[in-house]
Structure 1
Amino acid sequence: MKVLSMLLAGFVVGYAISDIGPFDSLLSSTAELRSFWAIVNGLTVVAISACVASVALARASARASIVVAIASVLVVVFQTVGMVTGLLGQWAGALATGALLAAAAVLAGRHRGAQAALAVAVLGAGLLGGALDALLEANDGPVFVWDVVGAEDDVSPQRAIVMVIVASGTAVALFLAHRHEELQPYETRRILLVGIPLPVAAGVLSWIAASHNAGSEVWLGSLAGVTAIALLASFLIPGRDGRVLLVLVALSASALGSFGLAAEDSAQLALSVGLLIVGAGIGFRWPQLYIGLGGLLLIAVAAVVEGYFEVPTGTEFILPFVAAFVVVSALTTSPGSLALSLPALFTMTLPVTVYSASFQTASAYDRAVFTTTTEPDHLVLSVAGLVVVAVMTGACALLMRRPAVVSGTS
């Protein structure tokens, strides 16, 4: 039941993330892609909310975490069905999504199975949520009362139905699994010093890359900056817990030059989900961090080959398996570091200049239309991704030489 509750909570978080526009400002509804105000977007708020709430809830009781988790689920659902609209609804949805992620991470504790279920569900739903929406919308049958719920432009009836069903199960599972649980000692405040500036710095670098027309040099410089702050953050996180952040940044970089996850139709969507599950299962039973990172390196190399010779390599079919395997292999970690690391996949990939601003995606994995402003061509992008993966792999090797934090002292 504990693992099931984390799986459902992670799905709600990931599915909500897949619906949050990475370019939509929460300060100004008229802010454009290259506006400074676009730095404060839904994904940034999710990341900061998750970090702050994880530290606060780790110092509270399990009952408080359950209450926050269930309340956050309800807020996300209300925003999804259009009962809270406009900037208020966007702020509410982003804050609640972050709070739900934090509460789930705290309730998962250091239980490796629960952490794996939460992480894979967040990543899977976050990356494939758009494809699931497209699949659901292919059904032209009746949607009953959902046609008239909320503002017409703010409601996807199919998404609303899915979210209500999953949220109901989540609330029940969270209560049943954790009502008698006692939490471990609180998180260190260092998590706040890392998790709050991390998404903000990434947002600033994305804005810089989007605000100039100086060619690929500006974009590559911004990518180098994102890599540097990820490295710094991972070593500031206590013990070896920063390895999850390094793995997620490497994961995003390995896909920079690829064509993303295969999820264009129901068969490919099912294949991607299946590979995620299989990869997570193998990673749970046989955790091999360096083999997983080696897989990411191979995917990055394949992207370079694809860009140089212009031949498809099929990495989109391998990526979900390797992604789940390497992330689960990097667990366990402290709840606070898990809560601040998971949003990094969606906030630290410079999606602003890689993909079209009109394409509402939460990650750099989904297939989209390339813009022609400042991003490098496909080959340069692939080489840059390969370099970042190599750097993150080396950083993981250094980080793993540190003594592990004793459970209950982080």
Structure 2
Amino acid sequence: MKVLSMLFAGFVVGYAISDIGPFDSLLSRTAQFGSSATIVNGLTVLALTAALASVVLARSSARGVLVVAIGAVLVVVFRAVGMVTGMLGDWSGAVSAGVVLGASAVLAGRDRGAQASLAVAAIGAGLLGNALDALLQADDGPVFVWDVVGAEDAVAPERAIVMVIAASGAALALFLAFRDKEVQRCETRRTLLVGLPLTFLAGVLSWIAGGHDARSVEWLCALAGMTAIALLASFVLPGRDGLVLLVLFASSVIGSVGFGAEDSLQLAVSVVSLIAGAAIGYRWPQMYVGLGGLLVLAGAALIEGYVALPTVSQFVLPFVVSYALVSVLSTAPGSLAIALPALFTMTLPVTMYAASSQIASTYDRAVGTRTTEPDHLMLSVAGLVVVSVVTVACAMLKRRPTVVNGNS
């Protein structure tokens, strides 16, 4: 029941993330500019809230954490069905999803099965949620809708139905699993010391890299800065807890938001690959095998622009990412709450060319505007270098003793 509750809770968080809209991968050849006009976007709010919630709830009773988690799940549902709209709805959706993530991480403790279930569900739903929406919308028959008033109250019926079902399952499973459990004590101060600055700086760097007038040097400096803060944060976290953050950062660099799912078959294959990788990583955890897989994927991205790779290669990505992630669990609840949003908040947006319409004196013309200067080769080389650096850092962290219970 604990594992089932984490699956439902992670799905709620991930599906909310997919609604906010994660950035495109830096190595995806079809990537499009998708960052917000402001640094404080929904993903940033969610990540900050998750870190704060994990700290605030770390010393609460299990029943208290459970009440907060279920209440946050209900808020996510209210927003999904259009009961909380406009800017208030956007903020409530991001904040409540962050609270669900932080509370779930605290309830999961250091249990590898619970942590793996939460992580895989959140990542899978976050990356494949929009594909699931598209699949549900493919039905040309009648669909269930709400009566709405005004454009701001428009509701996506497919997402609302899925969210109601998932949230109901999460609330029931969380109650049954943790009504008589005790919360494991975990670190608090370092969670805040790492989680808050990390999320804010990542947002700033993404904003700089995604600017329409960004030059190549600015974008590459943003990538170097993102790598530096990821490394620093991972070593500030106690023991080996920083491994999860580094693995997810490396995954975001090599293209983890590029999971292929254009139809029901591809969606199913992506989900099966994700689950299979997690299951094998749980049963036979080998950190260096997972990191080696990430390096191979980074190398494959390097030659992708020159050699036609088999279509099946895109489905290797979710398998390797989930295997590498689960192999480095368990970690402290606060560290898990910080690391999971990193897959989305620490991804730099990329657009090679953007077509814009410009009115001339006597005619309209389409003008190609270069918004991110590095070409595919430079991006791929940069990605391979970053993953290599992260691999070395993981090897160094692996030598540190594991911190089971800490108050730092």
Aligned residue for 2:258, secondary structure, equals: coil
* One-letter code aligned to 2:208: I
Q: Which residue of 1 aligns with 2:248?
A: 248
Q: Does 1:80 align with 2:85?
A: no
**1:381 aligned residue (361, 379, 382):** 379
Q: Which residue of 1 aligns with 2:284?
A: 286
Q: Which range is displaced more, 3-12 or 399-408?
A: 399-408
Partner Cα distance (2:229, 2:149) in 1: 41
1:90-239 equivalences in 2 (<5 Å): 90-144=90-144, 146-149=145-148, 154-211=154-211, 213-239=213-239
Pairwise CA distance, 1:271 = 0.2
Pairwise CA distance, 1:150 = 6.6
Partner Cα distance (1:245, 1:296) in 2: 14
Pairwise CA distance, 1:21 = 3.8
1:69-113 CA deviation, whole Å, 9 max, x = no partner? 111111111111111111111110000000000010000001110
Stretches of 4+ aligned residues off by more than 6 angstroms:
32-35, 354-357
- Whether the 8 Å contact between 1:194 and 1:237 is mirrored in structure 2 is yes
Q: Which residue of 1 aligns with 2:296?
A: 298
Aligned residue for 1:331, secondary structure, equals: coil
1:208-261 CA deviation, whole Å, 9 max, x = no partner? 2233635322111101110000000000111110000000001111227xx921
* One-letter code aligned to 1:391: V
Pairwise CA distance, 1:356 = 7.8
Are the structure 2 counterparts of residues 222 and 229 from structure 1 closer, same or farther at C-alpha, using a change threshold of 3 Å?
same
Pairwise CA distance, 1:186 = 3.9
- Whether the 8 Å contact between 1:22 and 1:42 is mirrored in structure 2 is no
Are the structure 2 counterparts of residues 33 and 104 from structure 1 closer, same or farther at C-alpha, using a change threshold of 3 Å?
closer
Are the structure 2 counterparts of residues 248 and 61 from structure 1 closer, same or farther at C-alpha, using a change threshold of 3 Å?
same
- Whether the 8 Å contact between 2:195 and 2:338 is mirrored in structure 1 is yes
Normalised TM-score (structure 1): 0.89
Pairwise CA distance, 1:53 = 0.5
* One-letter code aligned to 2:384: L
Unpaired runs of 5+ in structure 2? Answer: 24-32, 356-367
Q: Which residue of 1 aligns with 2:308?
A: 311
Q: Which residue of 2 aligns with 1:41?
A: 41
Aligned residue for 2:405, secondary structure, equals: coil
Q: Which residue of 2 aligns with 1:339?
A: 337
Pairwise CA distance, 1:4 = 0.1
Are the structure 2 counterparts of residues 112 and 391 from structure 1 closer, same or farther at C-alpha, using a change threshold of 3 Å?
same
Aligned residue for 2:57, secondary structure, equals: helix
- Whether the 8 Å contact between 2:45 and 2:95 is mirrored in structure 1 is yes
Pairwise CA distance, 1:406 = 2.7
Q: Which residue of 1 aligns with 2:258?
A: 260
1:275-321 CA deviation, whole Å, 9 max, x = no partner? 111111000000011101100110110111112x1423443110011
Are the structure 2 counterparts of residues 273 and 241 from structure 1 closer, same or farther at C-alpha, using a change threshold of 3 Å?
same
Aligned residue for 2:71, secondary structure, equals: helix
Pairwise CA distance, 1:262 = 1.6
Partner Cα distance (2:249, 2:109) in 1: 23
- Which structure exhibits the higher relative contact order, with contacts defined as CA atoms closer than 8 Å and separated by 6 or more residues? 2
**Which of the two has higher C-alpha Rg?**
2
* Matched residue count: 386
- Whether the 8 Å contact between 2:216 and 2:372 is mirrored in structure 1 is yes
Calculate percent identity across the aligned residue pairs: 67
Q: Does 1:392 align with 2:390?
A: yes
- Whether the 8 Å contact between 1:109 and 1:183 is mirrored in structure 2 is yes
- Whether the 8 Å contact between 1:66 and 1:103 is mirrored in structure 2 is yes
Q: Which residue of 2 aligns with 1:406?
A: 404
Partner Cα distance (1:378, 1:197) in 2: 30
- Whether the 8 Å contact between 1:59 and 1:187 is mirrored in structure 2 is no
* One-letter code aligned to 1:278: A
Are the structure 2 counterparts of residues 8 and 150 from structure 1 closer, same or farther at C-alpha, using a change threshold of 3 Å?
farther
Partner Cα distance (2:212, 2:48) in 1: 27
* One-letter code aligned to 1:312: L
- Whether the 8 Å contact between 2:254 and 2:298 is mirrored in structure 1 is yes
* One-letter code aligned to 1:318: V
1:315-340 CA deviation, whole Å, 9 max, x = no partner? 31100110110110010000000001
